[in-house]
A and B are shown apart, each in its own frame.
Chain A
Amino acid sequence: MNTVRIDARGMHYSLLNTAIRKAVASGVREIIVDNVMGQRFIADGLKGDATLTIHGVPGGDLGMFMSGPTCIVHGNCDHAPGNTMDNGKIIIHGSAGDAVAHSMRGGKVFVRDNVGYRAGIHMKQYMEKRPVLVIGGSYRAFLGEYMAGGLILSLGDPAVHPHTERGIGSGIHGGKIVIRGNIDEYYLGVGARTFTLSNEGMDEIIPLIEEYAGYFGIDPDPLIHESYTQVTPSSSRPFASKYTWE
């Protein structure tokens, strides 16, 4: 049996996760979860390479600590999908709340529409683990705050979603944020600076644009031909000169 269907209507998150874990342990590769309505922690700490297709609106911390599986959400997500996620993918056909991909250390999160405040906060990278967050619509303030590694790619059309949220990359000391169009310096956070994305930088994001377009059934070409701004840290040691010894 390679596919399992779980009806989550009225089900507590713990029982739902138990059912998901049991299915994964028995070798099921495709799990379809219907009627999700606010259950938190779906796929929390889940390992393996199963694919969860979620119909409905998951509660907070979808895929927290997850290491390997893919979650495809047909609906919006509450806050912090991908929180401290280790590996795997979250693909959201809709919008997500605050702190999306918080402290994510590996894998990819794709949000078709909008994200809330502090998306990609404290994402970090190590060796081959380099997390990626792709946002199709708008973001709110403090995008990539405290960012220590990884990549945030914001594809939203500035004509539709003008860049008017403050604190982009506030406290960033690693990784980078790539944003479609131009960013007024006024909206940058402390420790962030901007460049026009180089050709090499463009080469890096093209596969991600194609992947994003593939998931959501849109044409990648117009996005590939847009211009992008890169936000990076002005220092990898923001606190280096703050202290004197006793």
Chain B
Amino acid sequence: MTIGSVPVKFRITVDPDQCMLCGRCAENCPYDVFRIENNRMHVNSRKCVACHRCIAMCPRDAINIKERPVDYRSHPVWTTEIREAIYNQARTGKIILAGMGNAQPYPVIFDSLVLDACQVTNPSIDPLREPMELRTYLGKKPSRLEIKEDSDGVDVLTTLAPNLKLETPIMIGHMSYGAISLNAQQSIARAVSDMGTYMGTGEGGLHQSLYPYQSHMIVQVASGRFGVDINYLERGAAIEIKIGQGAKPGIGGHLPGEKVCEDVSCTRMIPVGSDAISPAPHHDIYSIEDLKQLVRSLKEATEWKKPVFVKIAAVHNAAAIAAGIARSSADVVVIDGFRGGTGAAPKVFRDHVGIPIEAAIASVDAKLRAQGIRNQVSLIASGGIRESADVAKVIALGADAVYIGTAALVAMGCRVCGTCYRGLCPWGIATQRPDLVARLDPEVASKNVANLIHAWTLELSELMGAAGINSIGSLRGNRDRLRGYLLDESMMNVLDVKSVGA
């Protein structure tokens, strides 16, 4: 007992005047917090992860959860989290595994950027009355068009590269079957199909039940090449090469054997119960030239009919790397900021590696424009997009579209408890346990996700209208519509925005 017991993270109290011992909390909690014995409710607070499933299911609002009910001696350097991480590692000698996105209290740059609106001189537009163009095309755009005009009309002579047509610039990023449940993937797939946008499969293959939605799915090829064969590549609307991920730049991933059930095994094409290890690098990519080769191999395999995306984590030299990718024949570059979520990542990576998406997308866009190759690729911003304002701001910083991940899961009930790596998600999202998966009804959840995309799209068109902009293309890279609020000068230089009042 050198270290002894550390205080509970959450204290659960059940109000005996309210509780009618219906047992729904106990039924719903996969962490075994609740137990009814001798007509009394017993709770084991130590097991609680604050997923709020019990609170959501309690018919009498009888349950309360208090975070950190026990105080340590306060200290600005030796915080509770720092101390508890040391106790944990002193006991185990292991790497700390964490879920969801970056949990360090870094300032959010989005929250120091404000948007513009018209007053007097340039009238705003009412999206209710006026058409707002949110349709977005992802892929290469020609630097010039050769056309032939005659009495029959106009012919475009330039060969156009394949593009994806989005009805809204909001897409849902790659969360694999394995990391999330099939019901969660189905919910997202229905939502993006209904909304005229796209989702990513993640590196987990494409389950048969998703084939009806394949024209709205971007299939991923990552270093483990799980689930990848020619049929998979042909099914996708586009193909994404995953180089890195914002939640854990520079390292690979692995799906623990416990999560590789019969169905996951079948879509990933690996035996049941075996670890699915995605190594840090692709074994055939050690340079930009090698990347070009993988991009072209995918295009060649699918007869140059599909756009190829390349996703990198936002790291220090993201701009130079993206410029290299733009020259690799890729059509779209995805930049995943350091707030990007994940089912499981070493805490030290999740919290300390990479840079924020705001700075990354601005510098990538600036670099591509400076080199005259911005038209060669579209840019997708990803990692920490929380609301429609973030979408508007990141597009004004140079993105063509966004990937959301965590926000879509929250739309399906996720409470951001960050315990995805346990595989016991009580909301049926980050789990493969059949009874838990069954809690998520794709019929309902798909509407929730579609509602979110719809609402954000409405807000985006309102924001654009207020700024006198009627086409998303006029917002893209339009930094004049942003001002920095108490950002330092060097950051405003990187973002290429002026200060408020300037």
Q: Name A's B-contacting residues (CB within 8 A).
A: 13-14, 17-18, 21, 40-41, 44-45, 47, 60-61, 64-67, 79-80, 83-84, 86, 99, 102-103, 105, 118, 121-122, 124-126, 129, 145-146, 148-149, 171, 173-174, 236-246
Contact = CB atoms under 8 A, between A and B. Distances in A.
A67 B269 contact: no
Contacts of A236: 257, 273-275
In this complex, the interface size class of chain B, counting residues with CB under 8 Å from chain A, is: 35 or more
B89 A99 contact: no
Given A65-B230, A124-B269, A238-B277, 7 more contacts: A41-B297, A65-B229, A65-B233, A83-B297, A148-B277, A239-B254, A243-B94
Contact of A149 (B257, B271, B273): B271
Nearest first, the 3 closest Cβ-Cβ pairs linking A and B are A45-B301, A244-B94, A103-B225
A242 B421 CA distance: 14
A121 B224 CA distance: 10
B92 interface: yes
Contacts of B304: 14
A183 B96 CA distance: 37
B229 A86 contact: yes
B275 A80 contact: no
B283 A60 contact: no
Contacts of A18: 303
Contacts of A237: 256-257, 274-275
B300 A13 contact: yes
A64 B283 CA distance: 14
B67 to A, nearest CB: 14
B425 to A, nearest CB: 14
B343 interface: no
B302 interface: yes
B270 A126 contact: yes
Contacts of A67: 229-231
Contacts of A14: 300, 304
The residue among B96, B257, B271 with the most chain A CB atoms within 10 A of its own CB is: B271
Contacts of A244: 88-89, 91-92, 94-97
A114 to B, nearest CB: 19
A246 B98 contact: yes
B279 interface: yes
A56 B418 CA distance: 55
B293 interface: yes
B346 interface: yes
B283 A122 contact: yes
B311 interface: no
A238 B257 CA distance: 10
B367 interface: no
B344 to A, nearest CB: 8
Contact of A245 (B266, B303, B422): B422
25 contacts: A40-B297, A41-B296, A44-B301, A61-B284, A61-B293, A64-B297, A65-B228, A65-B233, A67-B229, A79-B284, A121-B283, A124-B225, A125-B271, A126-B271, A174-B274, A236-B273, A237-B256, A238-B275, A242-B95, A243-B97, A244-B88, A244-B89, A244-B92, A244-B96, A246-B98
A66 B230 CA distance: 7
Q: Chain A interface mostly helix, strand, loop or mixed?
A: loop
Contact of A243 (B273, B283, B284, B346): B346
B265 interface: yes
Contacts of A148: 270, 274, 277
Contacts of A125: 270-271
Contacts of A40: 293, 296-297
A122 B279 contact: yes
A237 B98 CA distance: 19
A146 B224 CA distance: 10
B283 A103 contact: yes
Nearest to B304: A14
A231 to B, nearest CB: 18
B11 interface: no
Contacts of A124: 225, 269-270
Nearest to A103: B225
Contact of A41 (B265, B300, B347, B422): B300
Contact of A99 (B228, B229, B283, B347): B283
A148 B113 CA distance: 48
A59 to B, nearest CB: 9
Nearest to A66: B230
A45 B300 contact: yes
A178 B422 CA distance: 37
Contact of B230 (A45, A122, A246): A45
Contact of B95 (A84, A86, A171, A243): A243
A125 B96 CA distance: 31
Contacts of A64: 297, 301
A17 to B, nearest CB: 6
A246 B418 contact: yes
Contacts of B301: 41, 44-45, 64-65
A79 B187 CA distance: 41
B261 to A, nearest CB: 14
A149 B270 contact: yes
A148 B225 CA distance: 12
Interface string B417-428: 010011000000
A245 B224 CA distance: 24
Nearest to A60: B293
A173 B274 contact: yes
Interface string B277-301: 1010001100000000100110011
Contacts of A83: 284, 297
Nearest to A122: B283
B228 A84 contact: yes
A17 B283 CA distance: 24
B293 to A, nearest CB: 6
A122 B159 CA distance: 38
Contacts of B284: 61, 79-80, 83, 99, 102
Contact of A122 (B224, B231, B269, B422): B224
A240 to B, nearest CB: 7
